[in-house]
Amino acid sequence: MRLFVALELPAAVRENLGALLKALRAVSPQTRWVRPENLHLTLKFIGEVPETEFAVIRNALAAARSDQPVALEFRGLGFFPNEKRPRVFWAGIEASPNLKTLAAEIDRAMEKLGIPCEQRPFSPHLTLARFEPPELPEKLRSAIEENAAREFGSFRTNQYQLIESKLKPSGAEYTTLESFPFAAAEA
């Protein structure tokens, strides 16, 4: 099983980002765009694990907690590592401070199971496209600049999901295996 932990997006945010992706895909169809239904905020990539480890992973994730739900605002666009040699095109996220703490807690819980900790600092973002080779066509650069300040919505959540990723020639297919509440629901 190929697994990761993520926050799933509400329909309104997914639709707003989907509209942007549709417009940009028309400008640059050769770019490897993420399908809107696959958009998510990764908290921890677990990787390949035997099915026999599922219950142990599930139990470790069920213990992760936060004192309150996380608040997220989706706005802005950017590139990793940078615009001159882009490998990843992303939508930015402004999140409440407890998101970083929650991601670190999940990372530590998985480390106890022998899953390596993340080497890079947690940087919340939504991957919208990947570039190989890392170059940005000028028409696409202009279209992205026109949308740079765009806002895509916001939401609060008190749960995260364990998701299985199956790699297929048509692209990754994601299946949510379980949701985990990490904070009390707001009244």
Specify if 32 maps to a domain.
yes
pLDDT at residue 60 in the model:
97
**How far from 91 is each of 21, 61, 144, 180, CA to CA, in Å?**
11, 26, 11, 25
Rounded Cα distance between 52 and 43, Å, is 22
Specify if 37 maps to a domain.
yes
Contact (CB, 8 A) for 28 and 144: no
| 58-95 pLDDT, tens digit each | 999 999 999 999 999 999 999 999 999 999 999 999 99
Provide the β-strand partners of residue 88.
80, 130
Domain around 150? 2-181
| 45-63 pLDDT, tens digit each | 999 999 999 999 999 999 9
Rounded Cα distance between 123 and 166, Å, is 24
User: How many independent structural domains does the chain possess?
Assistant: 1
pLDDT at residue 169 tops 70:
yes
Q: Would you name the residues annotated as active-site residues?
A: 40, 125
CATH of the domain at 42: 3.90.1140.10
pLDDT at residue 37 tops 90:
yes
Specify if 115 maps to a domain.
yes
